[in-house]
Amino acid sequence: MTDVSAYTPPRVWTWDQESGGAWAKINRPIAGPTHERVLPVGKHPLQLYSMGTPNGVKVTILLEELLALGKSGAEYDAHLIEIGKGDQFGSGFVEVNPNSKIPALMDHGTNPPTRVFESGAILLYLAEKFGAFVPSDPSERAECLSWLFWQMGSAPYLGGGFGHFYKYAPEPIEYCINRFTMEVKRQLDVLDRHLASHRHICGEHYTIADIAIWAWYGNLVLYNGYEASEFLDTASYTHLNRWAREIQARPAVQRGRKVNRTSGPLEDQLRERHDASDFDLRTEDKLQG
Ligand SMILES: N[C@@H](CCC(=O)N[C@@H](CS)C(=O)NCC(=O)O)C(=O)O
């Protein structure tokens, strides 16, 4: 086992060095803006400031699903916020999300305009605004929101815990990898057992709970998230894989997953989305933003 006893924490922690790892440059122990930057505002009432990470694609998938359902009011501009470059610390972004994390949404269709941050809150706001993908029956709604909040509470263990220590940390630390692998495999088993007897997360109907959970756990089992499919033996969670593939087949999911994406195959990256026709652009134009 790795020697983890070499470090003795000081009495008071101070920020005097980069912590190392893939995200060291943007991590800091203080909030607030680092620079002035006015956010662009496009032609639609809904203005999304985001990036194609699991938390980001939750929102673009829902917006594409709403549009596919004929809710034309869900037309949106999706502006790319490059978190690796520190765009989330620009003054305009911080006004929309004081927590400096994507996704963040401005709804200019209300007076005054409404800001929404936290991906779960954005999903619920949009689902309620357009009356779709969230049940109205109190019991079904409770089940849907339970799973939505489950996702919001669980994903940091997957991304910030497992993903960080398995893929991004400067060196593999056995204790940390074991701790978060244990938890992520437990989560995968929670989902697999549930989906053994449920077509979707909340039963027969596809809801924002499916969208939120698919963005993270679908990414893990279908797209080799954190390059950890083999390590986690994700193929063994057969019910989870069945559900993930069924959702992956939805055209709106395929579109939503491309928006604000900056990694993976170039043909799957639509850096900015301002119109439905943007999906038909040539690959080099999609990468312009
Ligand atoms: N709980 C938040 C988490 C958002 C989040 O962690 N976003 C990441 C990308 S997936 C981010 O913006 N990171 C930039 C940073 O931490 O500076 C949500 O669900 O919206």
User: In this predicted model, what pLDDT tens digit does every residue of 12-54 receive, in sequence order?
Assistant: 999 876 666 777 778 899 999 999 999 999 999 999 999 999 9
Q: 76-80 and 46-50: which strand pairing?
A: parallel
Statement to judge: residues 171 and 117 lie in one domain: no
Statement to judge: residues 201 and 111 lie in one domain: no
Nearest to 273 by CA among 60, 3, 113: 60
Statement to judge: residues 274 and 195 lie in one domain: no
CATH number where 150 lies: 1.20.1050.10
* 88 belongs to a structural domain: yes
User: In this predicted model, what pLDDT tens digit does every residue of 61-85 receive, in sequence order?
Assistant: 999 999 999 999 999 999 999 999 9
Q: Is 100 in the pocket of ligand 1 (CB under 6 A)?
A: yes
Pocket test for ligand 1, best of 96, 101, 124, 154 (most atoms within 8 A of CB): 101
CA of 102 to the centre of ligand 1 (A): 5
**In this structure, what token pair is assigned to residue 64?**
């594409």
* 212 belongs to a structural domain: yes
Q: Which atom number of ligand 1 is nearest to the Cα of residue 103?
A: 20
Statement to judge: residues 65 and 123 lie in one domain: yes
* 4 belongs to a structural domain: no
Residues 263 and 52: beta-carbon distance below 8 Å: yes
* 186 belongs to a structural domain: yes
Give the integer Cα–Cα distance in Å for 156 and 204.
28
User: In this predicted model, what pLDDT tens digit does every residue of 237-263 receive, in sequence order?
Assistant: 999 999 999 999 999 999 999 999 999
> Would you say the pTM of this structure is higher than 0.75?
yes
* 237 belongs to a structural domain: yes
The gap from C-alpha 135 to its chain's centroid, in whole angstroms, comes to: 22
The gap from C-alpha 81 to its chain's centroid, in whole angstroms, comes to: 13
Statement to judge: residues 222 and 251 lie in one domain: yes
What's the whole-number mean pLDDT along residues 138-155? 98
**In this structure, what token pair is assigned to residue 255?**
């579109």
User: In this predicted model, what pLDDT tens digit does every residue of 179-234 receive, in sequence order?
Assistant: 999 999 999 999 999 999 999 999 899 999 999 999 999 999 999 999 999 999 99
Q: Is 119 in the pocket of ligand 1 (CB under 6 A)?
A: yes
CA of 234 to the centre of ligand 1 (A): 24
Please tell me the predicted confidence (pLDDT) of residue 288.
76
Residue closest by Cα to atom 15 of ligand 1: 101
* 31 belongs to a structural domain: yes
CA of 184 to the centre of ligand 1 (A): 19
Statement to judge: residues 126 and 153 lie in one domain: no
Please tell me the predicted confidence (pLDDT) of residue 5.
65
* Count of structural domains, the chain: 2
Statement to judge: residues 152 and 183 lie in one domain: yes
* 90 belongs to a structural domain: yes
Please tell me the predicted confidence (pLDDT) of residue 287.
78
Statement to judge: residues 36 and 107 lie in one domain: yes
Q: Is 83 in the pocket of ligand 1 (CB under 6 A)?
A: yes
Q: Is 26 in the pocket of ligand 1 (CB under 6 A)?
A: yes
Statement to judge: residues 127 and 150 lie in one domain: no
**In this structure, what token pair is assigned to residue 36?**
């002035």
If you average pLDDT over every residue of the chain, what do you get? 95
Statement to judge: residues 57 and 158 lie in one domain: no
Statement to judge: residues 115 and 142 lie in one domain: no
Give the integer Cα–Cα distance in Å for 241 and 88.
33
Statement to judge: residues 248 and 142 lie in one domain: yes
Give the integer Cα–Cα distance in Å for 102 and 54.
10
Residues 75 and 46: beta-carbon distance below 8 Å: yes
Backbone CA torsion sign across 251, 256, 260, 264: negative
Give the structural domain span for 253: 138-258
* 5 belongs to a structural domain: no
Residue closest by Cα to atom 4 of ligand 1: 101
Residues in Cβ contact with 39 at an 8 Å cutoff, skipping those fewer than 6 apart: 47, 49, 79, 90, 92, 93, 95, 96, 106
CATH number where 40 lies: 3.40.30.10
Q: How many CA atoms lie within 13 A of 202 on its CB side?
A: 28
Residues 48 and 63: beta-carbon distance below 8 Å: yes
Q: Is 219 in the pocket of ligand 1 (CB under 6 A)?
A: no
